[in-house]
Structure 1
């Protein structure tokens, strides 16, 4: 309201809360007690026709107090009609209760004040509509982004001046505006229990005004819960954009999940081609899938872990998100057989390794330097490095740099090695050799407890440890060379193998090493 145009003069400024509070309407009344006819937020205009100049009567002693209790915003007193100035007792009352009071000169009609306030209310309402429209437009733009769910959540937090997070029905965070929230999700308790579709609940936790909106699909299925908070008392959070965001999320989640599945399948297909060395067939689509291709020389990485950890790692290399690593070459990535494969420029490899292994929930196998044409070799190196890292407990491993690099036991599951040994040596399982008379079964050995005997598998192991030299093996077993030769011929016949074949001997060595009879 413009005091310069209306020539108003403030007599009592009032409390700051009363001055800043919005005016709902202007009401002219000469009643000693107008409060029964007020709803709150009004500006009272009067000329004091029934008011004394020097001393308030019985009804007028609590005049200002009653108006304050009725949530009146202030008093405009018209002078020059009955009173040449505002009665002192009214000034004292308004000052005591913090009620704003201003004088209205006789030339200024009350209707002019009413019109001025009305215009102000209209302008304020229009500003509110404009602000609401702007908020809605920003949220709608987020729907059309590549990742609408996270974009809507982040934009909503910006609009309300606080934070926002979306959780699924199991309580897992799907998207959040902040990495760490000031309120624990578990502390919301009953606010996350909904009985009515589309219901909203409001709580105040640790000084934050929090709204929880139930996000449901058009078919009525629960998709999750939108939780938004802002520092302040209950009611300080604007619920209108939160409700709009909840409605948009119900549509975006379904659409986003379908689009992400298609994009993931395309990336998986294309990264597989890259790993096979067919980069030329992928390059025309690289800008849409990964924002381009990394520059040679390259480095291939295999990431192993549970699916949630791999999805979190994939978010770091997304070209359309704000990555923690800035200004790097594009990254080719995709899921292949439940592993996340990442191909980066070798100049940036160390930065990406640091970021991808930071939380310790994934295992990285890293290849040596490579070109696109040689990517099949890099894929093999990254695969082997990740397998060894997983069995040795290392978080990351560069191919060829592990303490046991290339050891078969570091690359094959121990249970599989034992199973291989059991099957390979099964024909020898119950065969023993009498050190003086020749081969016997285990039952025959038990019948003659005084006979010195040895298992066929131990004979084979001794021969392999002697690198196939009969004399050395016979010496260790304290038998004759010809007896040792006879035993080895019997073993070869039982196993149906050629002991002169180095590949066969290598297999038998690992079988003996992991045999359960060892």
Structure 2
């Protein structure tokens, strides 16, 4: 409802006495009838005030003071205007009221004696009813268009097309939680802008307005994932929230709800792909038939007959495990037009992709793939044939396990660059590694289980501290004689003496084989529990 709509309604026969400064096409909240000398405590902004002027009595000076006071109160409250209803005692609007409205820039309309204020209230209700009906029809029409766009697979771009057809003045785009921009209609965000928006989504709570440098302010409409906690994407609209009309906000919020369906579809697709990728890794690791593995590789667009590289990426031990995600690796490979199998496994991202280029260029490619992150990446040699994938997978993971344990040094290495015992252990599968470890460690494990002793942790700590008795005893919080008694017991049970180099090597290889078989990240030794009583410390 607007002043223009009321003034043009022939049933009301309103006559305009003062146009005022307000835009007559601006919305009017409602109509308010009052005879108080100061109605401002009971008024809301943009309300139209109806009055018979009972407050305007007395001589000319009194009427002038009353009119000035009344109109000033309306102006201070942000009223949309005044309707002065004539009555037999006041057959025309007092001149003092007209003068006061002109000075204040307040719109003033005159209502004939024969028309009651209820007619204006009914007209206002009719306008609001029509407006509400129009809004509902727009919402239903927009809803149908959005349903059609989603059902035909138009995706995020289709949702923006529906929004643009209805409100072409809005510049909007979609940014997912990885910073990708699957659809843009007039905003023109860069990749850096997308990353800034994605970073904002990680805040708790995420902001509803964001400054994007030269692009200025944008309003964010969150797109939740269906059936799960968290935000899957965001609908970005150029401009501040205060610059958007109520109709704009309704359209954008409805579009954001439909985008959640598209986000859910993409999440499901990625989930299915990740599950199949994980199953493929299990097939490779278990030595499945080559034709089965080849068929799965082809489903990911990877030519099983081509040379393939296997890479395992992870954060360093103690670092931020969230630095890498399978989705980010998929995006980086897709941007480089490289088909690949990407799966998460044991805190690592394993990827298998064709590598027809010279092998020395592989490290450079992986460094570029990692970008500016602080990840480490272990590589196998280029696998030529499906049969070579199983040892290549094992080598890449072993290489990454070693790199994760080192606080510094090269971030990307090939397995054959590790040297020494790493090459020896890396040539065995998990079953072989467990056999190597069991031959030495099983007697110690049985003793620890039966007697509540700490022989295996003590041996591990001794070797991790390079055979330094005092440093190891301090680390274990025991007396050095207690440590000597424990390692003497190790010699009695295994026949291997930590004082002899050859025996120490065998003990070290057994512990390393056990770590490799478990697939655990190499990390600083875990402090064993303190012994429960004094006698247990010497077992």
TM-score range, shorter chain: 0.3 to 0.5
Computing the radius of gyration over CA atoms, which structure comes out larger, 1 or 2? 1
Q: Which has the larger helix fraction? A: 2
